[in-house]
Chains A and B, each alone.
Chain A
Amino acid sequence: MRGSPRVRLVKWSLHYGVLLLFVVAALFPLYWLVKISLTPNDSLYTHSIDLWPATISLEHYATVIGNSDFLLFFRNSVIVSGVTAIASTLLAAASGYAFSRFVFRGRYWIVGVMLVTQMFPLVIVITPIFSIFGPLGLTNSLMGLIIIYTAFNIPFATFLMQSFFDGIPKELEEAAMIDGATRFKALLQIIAPLTLPGIAATMGFCFTGAWGEILFALLLNSAASTSTFPVGLLLYSTRATIEFGPMMAAGVLALLPVCIFFFLIQRYLVQGLTAGAVKG
């Protein structure tokens, strides 16, 4: 830092001012969500806009948990997102490893096709998918959602995993193979532990993607028994009213698994595990 104390103070204030602005803008909707979920019904529809309700109550949470199918939707969402995250990460790890380490025929074309799938909006494939899935019994089924989400996650997840594998020197598995390991064993015992940050990031990406997805969830599954919670949230908005209180409470509850998930994987998201592998 250079300049007089006053210049420094101005720079400091600007720096943190901008950061603060960003944080407030990013967190304000969350704050509003929590606030409304805690506001009792009788003070929800008043004319004044308060930053915090005079009294708080958990009545909306009680409604959501006790008086609705929310727990069912929630369970469905956990199953769909969890299986999607695990399946897409495993498959993406396999294909990412292949792209990172092997030269094979058609590699270029496969990469091209995977890129193309990322380029058009999902809306245009919904109808064909619906008509394919119907006869197969994959509509109104959690399995159908898992297949769709996994399929759509894999291209990007593959590129993500490939970049993590690219960051791991191939001498490591060569050393392991000379030490007596098969390539698969080297992958499991040497490469996989070093890719944990990548695996965690990819899983997080796939999980959140599936968790918040609504288009397919709404159009493929109409029965409540197979609905995920984003679809469930819509039930609070009926033709006559929108039940903001319970909707917001459900929204807060829906945030919890994502928070827990990221809390669990954040340890692995920290990079730098490979430092010291290579170079003196």
Chain B
Amino acid sequence: MASIDIKNVRKDFGPVSVLKGVDLAIASGEFAVLVGPSGCGKSTLLRLIAGLEDASSGEIHIGGRRVDDLPPRDRDIAMVFQSYALYPHMNVRDNMGYSLRLKRTPQARIAEIVGRAGAKLGLEALGERKPRELSGGQRQRVAMGRAIVRNPKAFLFDEPLSNLDARMREQMRFEIRKLHRDLGATSVYVTHDQIEAMTMADRIVAMNAGIIQQVGTPLELYDDPANVFVAGFIGSPAMNFLSGEARRGETGVALSVGGKAFCTLSQAVAVPEDGRVTIGIRPERIRIGVGAGQVVEAAADLVETTGAASVVHVDLAGQAMKIFTTERLQLTQGQRIPLAIDAKDVCLFDPAGGGRLR
């Protein structure tokens, strides 16, 4: 177990700058999830930690030791690849025991450690099988097993669940978390799936275009996003964004959308000169009906239901908005519905830079 410290790390591939100065401290024992859209540099950052790529500049420390110049084998980390990267010509037991064999661990000891890891992952019956004779979920487990027999300082996961079907993914998500609870090892988990990030992380590191956008607990990112990117990336259905206007009044900042009053914020907010703002509000924070907050009127468009809940698409002064509700509604297209908006659920963003207005 060890902390991981990344200091001002940059990575260029030729003229392309993939990581543009990353600073990140991951505490010992923490389960950190790197999340961001495809191509934002998550894998590259993970591979830098593993030593599979060299940083163009900056420092990487694992357990207080600077590792930039160490080859992967001396960094004492384990990695689970998206493709699993199981050795095709070795059976499950040899795949899991390979690292121990390289360390010249006695045969009996290898058998014991591999046996214990196999039992933990439910692989007891599969020891003799080759990777090609395993299902996707089983391969995934073998890859996990290969990592845990190492008893490494840190685990690195690169989208380990993306080749599984939805049901299997849900189960492995749970199992990886449980494994982490048992082993307590520092883990860095890369995914592009914000639901994985939300459900698994102690702390989420949201990345976009080679820059860390925000670091925090899942609920911090959810409730208090630092910018439009994080607000839009975290949460499903995604946060509604409306372009509106803000005007300072006696009772606070009055927001309007398409000339119609939206709500009034009581707290002080730094509003841009021209008053143009992006208003963000989560779909489940909007209530249909007349309530305590301010009321705006919208036109119903379409209802999508999953049984447990429904997403109502509405039109508010020409802008599309989604509402998430567990009520079962019968709405016809164009029907006028009142929406209750609570001012404390509203986030304001700068339409130019995307930063949060506070």
Q: Is A19 an interface residue (CB 8 A)?
A: no
Give the bracket for the number of chain A residues in contact with chain B: 20 to 34
Pick from A172, A275, A279: contact of B87, CB below 8 A: A172
Q: Is B89 an interface residue (CB 8 A)?
A: yes
- Residues in A whose Cβ lies below 8 Å from that of B52: 174, 177-178
Q: Are A178 and B77 also in contact (CB < 8 A) when A171-B83, A279-B163 are? A: yes
Bound state CA distance, A175 and B130, in angstroms?
A: 17
B88 near A277 with CB under 8 A, answer yes
Pick from B78, B79, B133, B137: contact of A276, CB below 8 A: B133
Q: Is B72 an interface residue (CB 8 A)?
A: yes
A279 near B102 with CB under 8 A, answer no
- Residues in A whose Cβ lies below 8 Å from that of B133: 276
- Residues in A whose Cβ lies below 8 Å from that of B72: 174, 177-178
A177 near B88 with CB under 8 A, answer no
Pick from A181, A190, A276: contact of B134, CB below 8 A: A276
Bound state CA distance, A92 and B284, in angstroms?
A: 63
Q: Is B99 an interface residue (CB 8 A)?
A: yes
Per the CB 8 Å criterion, the residue count for chain B at the interface is: 36
A277 near B85 with CB under 8 A, answer yes
Chain B residue nearest in CB terms to A180:
B102
Bound state CA distance, A193 and B51, in angstroms?
A: 25
Q: Are A194 and B89 also in contact (CB < 8 A) when A175-B79, A177-B73, A276-B132 are? A: yes
- Residues in B whose Cβ lies below 8 Å from that of A181: 73, 102
Q: Is B313 an interface residue (CB 8 A)?
A: no
Within the complex, what minimum Cβ distance (angstroms) separates A145 from chain B?
36
Bound state CA distance, A231 and B4, in angstroms?
A: 69
Q: Is A101 an interface residue (CB 8 A)?
A: no
B85 near A172 with CB under 8 A, answer yes
- Residues in A whose Cβ lies below 8 Å from that of B146: 175, 179
- Residues in B whose Cβ lies below 8 Å from that of A177: 52, 71-73
Contact with B along A264-279 (1 / 0, CB 8 A): 0000000001111111
B150 near A179 with CB under 8 A, answer yes
Pick from B50, B78, B84, B98: contact of A280, CB below 8 A: B84
Pick from B77, B85, B99, B134: contact of A278, CB below 8 A: B85
Within the complex, what minimum Cβ distance (angstroms) separates A28 from chain B?
41
Q: Is B139 an interface residue (CB 8 A)?
A: yes
- Residues in B whose Cβ lies below 8 Å from that of A172: 85, 87-88
Contact with B along A157-179 (1 / 0, CB 8 A): 00000000000010110111111
- Residues in A whose Cβ lies below 8 Å from that of B89: 193-194, 273
Name B94-143 residues within 8 Å CB distance of A. Answer: 98-99, 102-103, 130-137, 139-140
Q: Is A43 an interface residue (CB 8 A)?
A: no
- Residues in B whose Cβ lies below 8 Å from that of A179: 73, 98-99, 102, 146, 150
Q: Is A185 an interface residue (CB 8 A)?
A: yes
B85 near A280 with CB under 8 A, answer no
- Residues in B whose Cβ lies below 8 Å from that of A182: 71, 73
A275 near B85 with CB under 8 A, answer no
Pick from A171, A193, A276: contact of B131, CB below 8 A: A276
Q: Are A175 and B163 also in contact (CB < 8 A) when A181-B102, A275-B132 are? A: no
- Residues in B whose Cβ lies below 8 Å from that of A178: 50-52, 72-73, 75, 77-79
Within the complex, what minimum Cβ distance (angstroms) separates A264 from chain B?
20
Bound state CA distance, A175 and B102, in angstroms?
A: 13
Q: Is B86 an interface residue (CB 8 A)?
A: yes
Contact with A along B60-95 (1 / 0, CB 8 A): 000000000001110101110101111111000000
Q: Is B164 an interface residue (CB 8 A)?
A: yes
Q: Are A171 and B163 also in contact (CB < 8 A) when A178-B78, A180-B99 are? A: no
B73 near A277 with CB under 8 A, answer no
Q: Are A274 and B98 also in contact (CB < 8 A) when A171-B81, A174-B52, A177-B72 are? A: no
A280 near B136 with CB under 8 A, answer yes
Bound state CA distance, A179 and B135, in angstroms?
A: 23
Q: Are A180 and B83 also in contact (CB < 8 A) when A193-B89, A279-B163, A280-B164 are? A: no
- Further contacts, 15 of them, CB under 8 A, given A171-B83, A179-B73, A277-B88: A172-B85, A172-B88, A175-B86, A175-B87, A178-B73, A179-B98, A179-B99, A273-B88, A275-B132, A276-B131, A276-B132, A277-B83, A277-B85, A277-B86, A278-B85
A–B pairs, 19, beta carbons within 8 Å: A174-B81, A175-B146, A177-B72, A178-B77, A179-B146, A182-B73, A193-B89, A194-B88, A273-B89, A275-B132, A276-B132, A276-B133, A276-B139, A277-B85, A277-B86, A277-B87, A277-B88, A280-B140, A280-B163
4 closest pairs, A vs B, by CB? A276-B132, A280-B136, A171-B85, A280-B163
